Chain A
Amino acid sequence: MQPIQLLAPDGSFAEDEVYAPYIRALGDDVLREMYRSMATARRLDNEATSLQRQGQLELWVPCLGQEAGQTGVITALREDDMVFPTYREHAMALHRGITPEELLRQFRAAGHSGWDPLEHSFNVYSVVLGAQTLHAAGWAMGLQRDQAAGRAEDELVVACLGDGASSQGDVHESMVFASSYGLPMLYFIQNNHWAISVPVATQSKHPLALRAHGYGFEGVRVDGNDVLASFAVAAHHAPQVREGNPQIIEAVTYRMGAHTTADDPTKYRTSEEVESWKAKDPISRYATWLEAEGHADSGWFSEVDAEAKDLAADLRRAAMSMEGLELERVFDTVYAEPHRQIETEKAWLKDFEAGFAEQTGETEGERR
């Protein structure tokens, strides 16, 4: 099952009866915006990784190499289509107007999340693998009921997941619900080839898109490093999804970086493999095409680079000034109103934390 591709790694465009027309219909503004999203996401990734290495973030989850699939799909959707992301959809989040600072808040442990999901139609990051696919199905069932009650909008729901999460029971359940109820669900699987250290070949003997057939809906495979194909595929299939036909879009891509900053990918994959994917970089091929087709010139690219650099500096400043999350907030946000059990546990923890001996030179000496 060859992934659909419009833009080859060398930046050449292949005509396609079904999908190419979606691209030909796009103006410079949209085409440029997609580049800006990708470039910004990449700069954000680099800066955030550095911040983590400098002890300013607890953790960072890079989306390095996956910018095209994310950008293409989110651009093709409507602003009111609700997205249920994993923890790696930075390019999608930025496209929805979530600021880099808001994105970092959770990773600095300065908040449970940094944005209002309803404001951006973009749910908070789910760290529990695959759980968001069930939340998404639930949301879609809610939409269905709203529509039955006379609401006119026909937004769809995007459930993001990776090749690793495809093995989760939650994902299966979500797809069964989507199929059984005819939910307007778009499963956006970014197959980045590695579930931390487990290769995708171990998780699935077939293309993940084919799993859709088991649930009785359609699956399509796209080159996830090709922003144009990702856009076109999402644009082409979204109307069917809106009508209650769930779909899988499997974006075949590659996680160029570590799974998270706590991971060392050199321990489980070869540098040859990484190099082979470097040659398929999504941003450079798109830049080549934009310039060759006359959609942007080198001046514009430098402008974007400068913006991205500013963004990085702003981000660094903003991240440093973020206040840490007060431990009490962990308890205070469980229930809307005070709750006796939670209050009791909070008091217990306070007491526990206060119950340590003062740090003196003597105990310091004993430890060594």
Chain B
Amino acid sequence: MVGTFNLPDVGEGLTEAEVISWKVTVGDVVEVNDVVVEIETAKSLVELPVPFAGEVRELLAEEGETLEVGSPLIRIAEAGSEDGPEAGSDQKSDSQEKKPAERKQADSGSSGSGSPESGSSDSGGDKALVGSGPKADAAKRRPRTRPTTLDLVDVPGDAQRRPARRDAESQGRGVVDVLARTTPPVRALARRLGVALGELAAAAPGRISREDVERFARDRGGDVRAGGRRAAGPDEHGFTAGRLLREGPREEEVEVRGVRKHTAINVTRSAQEVPHVSVFRETDITRTMELRAVLREDSRYEGLSVSPLLFVAKAIIWAARRNPQVNATWHDETYSLKNYVNLGIAAATPRGLVVPVIEDAQAYDTRGLAAAITALTKRARDGKTSPAEMQGGTVSITNLGPLGLDGGTPILPPGQAAIVAVGAVRRKPWVVDDQIVPRDVMTVGGSFDHRLIDGEHAGRFVADVARVLEQPGLLLD
């Protein structure tokens, strides 16, 4: 009887090992568990004990040779009974039981040796659990011939075992929702919308997406109210399945285009590129409001909009003259100072936010500026602002007053270093000469490009704008 010991996988999922040194030579007699060879795997140096006793007949690998797991390593002939009766007898009884399997193994495993051992067999070594078995196969799998699909399998008694909640989900249609392939949030959504996932799974196999559930609910339309779960009214938690904020789908995807898209691009670019800094100041603009009342009565201003915005615009031009830094564009290596003010005025329009520009605003007198603002705001409201009118701004104003707000931190239009934000004009208690008196108060502030404008510059500029609004007489100089 001759046995072959094949190289086992001594690690977890190793595929090969190098023979480092033989501890026996042909003719040696070995006992079970005698170390015969030292091998090195990717993980470690390992001594291999033989699984059976006998005389070494053949060493099937050279030192330094790398063998695949499962390759034959050593052949051992069972010695006479005096050499290893215990082990020998064990193996005999074992081999008799296992003969067919081993023959197969020997046929495929030791073709090179040419000895008559295919008829021989012995125990353990040949049918090594790991070495020549599943692990070796797993390491180099055969190619696949076809894809595999996941088909639902029917299990007897499944319906009875289904939990009550899932029964409700599938509304007793006999489809098991447990197997509707989807994620917990989508399951929750389906529950809220009163969609039976089982029904959906039956109609469209595969993973159920949020969109699938929504489409299903939408397509069902009136069903939701008439025959669906919504008509059933609230449950014990006061939760009405399917009830939304208003009529319509649960969520809808809206395409971004036009002004919205333009705005998004601009503010994103500006917010990412420009370090913004914002400052604010509460300002008593009672005198400006008085002046405004006077101008409104003036026939020269008939038909023109004489709003606080007009005076803010004048104040900005005045302050820009004294604070050149705010009227500039940053170019990294340099920055360009403008000796003019192209005043952008942010306007909320039906199409969205637009910022039309009054070119050379410093060149207008007060009435002319009022006329320009009036025309500009009208065109904006009518949605007629042309793209050209929105180019070239150097400083902008955003008027938060109409929204009832007092302040905000606007995003700078690209290329500008300052945007002034003014809030609503409110009658407020104000201290004048140690007396508390009602005054018209407005918050003046804005955002600035900090690369160019420190808090000090921004503060001085905002203070100048506020000073003019407090003392519009300054505009006379």
Task: Say how far B463's CB is from chain A's closest CB, in angstroms.
Answer: 58
Report the Cα distance A52→B149, complex, angstroms.
Answer: 37
Contact A54 B148 (CB under 8 A): no
Contact A55 B176 (CB under 8 A): no
Report the Cα distance A192→B238, complex, angstroms.
Answer: 59
Interface set, chain A 265-286, CB cutoff 8 A to B: 266-267
Chain B interface residue number, banded: 35 or more
Asked if B142 lies at the interface with its beta carbon under 8 angstroms from chain A, I say yes
Task: Say how far A354's CB is from chain B's closest CB, in angstroms.
Answer: 9
Interface set, chain A 317-368, CB cutoff 8 A to B: 317, 320-321, 324, 337-341, 343-348, 351-352, 355-359, 363, 367
Interface of B is mostly: loop
Name the segment of B46-54, B58-66, B264-272, B382-390 touching the other chain.
B46-54
Given contacts A263-B43, A348-B150, contact A55 B143 (CB under 8 A): no
Asked if A252 lies at the interface with its beta carbon under 8 angstroms from chain B, I say no
Contact A356 B145 (CB under 8 A): yes
Contact residue among B12, B142, B146 (Cβ-Cβ distance under 8 Å from A363): B142
Contact residue among A316, A321, A339, A348 (Cβ-Cβ distance under 8 Å from B148): A348
Task: Say how far A23's CB is from chain B's closest CB, in angstroms.
Answer: 36
Interface set, chain B 162-180, CB cutoff 8 A to A: 176, 178-179
Contact A340 B51 (CB under 8 A): no
Q: Name the CB-closest residue of B to A260.
A: B12
Name the segment of A24-32, A56-64, A132-140, A142-150 touching the other chain.
A56-64
The residue among A264, A340, A341 with the most chain B CB atoms within 10 A of its own CB is A340
Report the Cα distance A47→B145, complex, angstroms.
Answer: 42
Contact A338 B155 (CB under 8 A): yes
Contact B124 A56 (CB under 8 A): yes
Asked if A127 lies at the interface with its beta carbon under 8 angstroms from chain B, I say no
Asked if B154 lies at the interface with its beta carbon under 8 angstroms from chain A, I say yes
Contact residue among B9, B123, B130, B153 (Cβ-Cβ distance under 8 Å from A340): B153
Contact B46 A53 (CB under 8 A): yes
Contact A54 B49 (CB under 8 A): yes
Contacts of B150 in A (CB 8 A): 344-345, 348
Asked if A313 lies at the interface with its beta carbon under 8 angstroms from chain B, I say yes
Chain A interface residue number, banded: 35 or more
Task: Say how far A207's CB is from chain B's closest CB, in angstroms.
Answer: 31
Report the Cα distance A168→B123, complex, angstroms.
Answer: 43
Contact A55 B9 (CB under 8 A): yes
Task: Say how far B364's CB is from chain A's closest CB, in angstroms.
Answer: 72
Given contacts A53-B48, A321-B97, contact A58 B130 (CB under 8 A): yes
Given contacts A50-B49, A53-B48, A363-B142, contact A340 B10 (CB under 8 A): no
Contacts of A358 in B (CB 8 A): 142
Report the Cα distance A320→B51, complex, angstroms.
Answer: 11
Asked if A262 lies at the interface with its beta carbon under 8 angstroms from chain B, I say yes
Contact A337 B157 (CB under 8 A): yes
Given contacts A262-B12, A357-B145, contact A344 B153 (CB under 8 A): yes
- How many A-B Cβ pairs are below 8 Å? 133
Contacts of A343 in B (CB 8 A): 153, 155
Contact B33 A50 (CB under 8 A): yes
Report the Cα distance A85→B90, complex, angstroms.
Answer: 33
Asked if A105 lies at the interface with its beta carbon under 8 angstroms from chain B, I say no
Contacts of A46 in B (CB 8 A): 33
The residue among B43, B130, B150 with the most chain A CB atoms within 10 A of its own CB is B130
Asked if A261 lies at the interface with its beta carbon under 8 angstroms from chain B, I say yes
Task: Say how far B135's CB is from chain A's closest CB, in angstroms.
Answer: 8
Q: Name the CB-closest residue of A to B108.
A: A359
Contact B146 A317 (CB under 8 A): no
Contact B5 A54 (CB under 8 A): yes
Report the Cα distance A267→B46, complex, angstroms.
Answer: 12
Asked if B80 lies at the interface with its beta carbon under 8 angstroms from chain A, I say no
Interface set, chain B 133-165, CB cutoff 8 A to A: 133, 140-158, 161
Q: B5-38 toward A: CB 8 Å interface, digit per residue (1/0)?
A: 1101111100000000000000000001100000
Given contacts A50-B49, A108-B129, A313-B86, contact A347 B8 (CB under 8 A): no
Contact B143 A356 (CB under 8 A): yes
Asked if B410 lies at the interface with its beta carbon under 8 angstroms from chain A, I say no
Task: Say how far A86's CB is from chain B's closest CB, in angstroms.
Answer: 18
Report the Cα distance A355→B44, complex, angstroms.
Answer: 35
Asked if B1 lies at the interface with its beta carbon under 8 angstroms from chain A, I say no
Contact B153 A55 (CB under 8 A): no
Report the Cα distance A348→B148, complex, angstroms.
Answer: 7
Given contacts A313-B86, A340-B176, contact A54 B8 (CB under 8 A): yes
Contact B12 A59 (CB under 8 A): yes
Contact A262 B151 (CB under 8 A): no
Interface set, chain B 154-212, CB cutoff 8 A to A: 154-158, 161, 176, 178-179
Report the Cα distance A320→B96, complex, angstroms.
Answer: 13
Contacts of A317 in B (CB 8 A): 90, 94
Contact residue among A58, A108, A340 (Cβ-Cβ distance under 8 Å from B155): A340
Contact A55 B90 (CB under 8 A): no
Contact B94 A340 (CB under 8 A): no
Q: Name the CB-closest residue of B to A265.
A: B44
Task: Say how far A257's CB is from chain B's closest CB, in angstroms.
Answer: 12
Contacts of A313 in B (CB 8 A): 86, 90
Contacts of B155 in A (CB 8 A): 338-340, 343
Contact A344 B152 (CB under 8 A): yes
Contacts of B124 in A (CB 8 A): 54, 56, 316, 320
Report the Cα distance A351→B49, complex, angstroms.
Answer: 39
Report the Cα distance A345→B149, complex, angstroms.
Answer: 10
Contacts of B129 in A (CB 8 A): 55-58, 108-109, 324
Report the Cα distance A58→B12, complex, angstroms.
Answer: 7
Contact B45 A266 (CB under 8 A): yes
Contact A55 B6 (CB under 8 A): yes
The residue among B141, B147, B150, B178 with the most chain A CB atoms within 10 A of its own CB is B150
A-B contact pairs, 14 of them (CB 8 A): A46-B33, A51-B51, A55-B6, A55-B132, A58-B130, A262-B10, A316-B90, A317-B90, A324-B129, A337-B157, A348-B149, A351-B148, A356-B143, A357-B143
Given contacts A56-B124, A355-B145, 18 further A-B contacts (CB under 8 A): A50-B32, A50-B49, A51-B51, A52-B8, A53-B10, A54-B49, A262-B12, A263-B43, A264-B46, A316-B32, A317-B94, A321-B94, A324-B129, A340-B154, A340-B158, A343-B155, A347-B151, A356-B145
Shortest 5 CB-CB contacts between residues of A and residues of B = A264-B44, A55-B8, A55-B128, A55-B131, A54-B51
